[in-house]
Amino acid sequence: MADLDPARIPHHVAIIMDGNGRWAKQRGLPRIEGHRRGVETVRRTIETARELGIRYLTLYAFSVENWRRPEEEVGGLMNLLEYFLKRETSTLIKNKVRLLTIGRTADLPAGVRRRLEQTIEATAGFTEHTLVLALNYGSRTEVLDAVQAYSAAVAAGEVDPAKLTWEDFARHLYTRDLPDPDLIIRTSGETRVSNFLLLQAAYAEFVFLSLYWPDFSKDAFHQAIADYQGRQRRFGRTGDQLGQASPQPPPLPAGSAS
């Protein structure tokens, strides 16, 4: 297990959970079995994040592009999501973990939406740890939705477009109540971000792992954090300006969660 500095644990970790299907194929199993094993990894990852003191954990669970997969697989994924919520809500409550979602969740099946609403409501009072599920999420659709929302605010006379700042625009993103990610992890050996948090990741550190998501262990999580802690985050400044210290990220937009 990697030796970590408790004072430098990332505030927000986001993970692109990739490789369930390939994990299953290597073992001669149906793809849905890879997704089932991936759900077990989600449980383990949430617990590890809480143990490490990570305040925000965002998991890329279903993208807007994933609807293109075979209907049987999409249906299986939705069933697994509903099952996960049914089984894990009590654990989230016990561990005081708040659930939030980002994405066009209104397009999800009714049963899934119902479970999400129930779990979100049941965990709404918790503030120490937050689990964010990116569901029917895509960064480009997020930007389109934010532009529409901002345009409506302009039309209503609520904002002045001549005075637009990033902080003003960010209030219309799905992530308006979240800090930007400090670290983004992707499993499966792929080295792309796949339309995930493109704007929010402007200053994030990235760790790409060759293992598939079902094999993402507690030790692998610790190693990714150790990699992150070995980097110097400069946010536009020089190394000489910082010395050996690692600077804090830019402040959150007004109204965001701390």
Please indicate if the annotation marks 63 as binding a ligand.
yes
**Letter string b/e over residues 194-212, b meaning 16 or more CB atoms within 10 A of that residue's CB:** ebbbeebbeebbbbbbeeb
Please indicate if the annotation marks 65 as binding a ligand.
yes
Residue 242 backbone dihedrals phi, psi, to 5 degrees: -90, -25
Q: Quote the mean pLDDT of the chain.
A: 92
What pTM was estimated for this model as a whole? 0.90
Please indicate if the annotation marks 50 as binding a ligand.
no
Please indicate if the annotation marks 140 as binding a ligand.
no
Question: DSSP H helical segments within 29-70, as ranges?
Answer: 31-52
The listed CATH number (3.90.600.10, 3.40.50.150, 3.10.20.340, 3.40.1180.10) that belongs to domain 9-138+181-230: 3.40.1180.10
Average pLDDT (121-146) is 98
Partner residues linked to 230 by β-bridges? none
pLDDT class of 255 with cuts at 50, 70, 90: very low
- What pLDDT, on the 0 to 100 scale, is given for residue 2? 73
Please indicate if the annotation marks 210 as binding a ligand.
no
- What pLDDT, on the 0 to 100 scale, is given for residue 242? 62
Asked whether residue 240 carries a pLDDT value surpassing 70, the answer given is: no
- What pLDDT, on the 0 to 100 scale, is given for residue 196? 98
Question: Where do the domains of the chain lie?
Answer: 9-138+181-230
Greater pLDDT, 235 or 184: 184
Question: What are the tens digits of pLDDT across the range 163-178?
Answer: 999 999 999 999 999 9
pLDDT class of 253 with cuts at 50, 70, 90: very low
Q: Of all residues in the chain, what percent carry a pLDDT higher than 90?
A: 88
Please indicate if the annotation marks 192 as binding a ligand.
yes
- What pLDDT, on the 0 to 100 scale, is given for residue 229? 96
Residues carrying an active site annotation: 18, 66
Question: What are the tens digits of pLDDT across the range 10-39?
Answer: 999 999 999 999 999 999 999 999 999 999
Give the 3-state secondary structure of residue 227: helix
- What pLDDT, on the 0 to 100 scale, is given for residue 256? 44
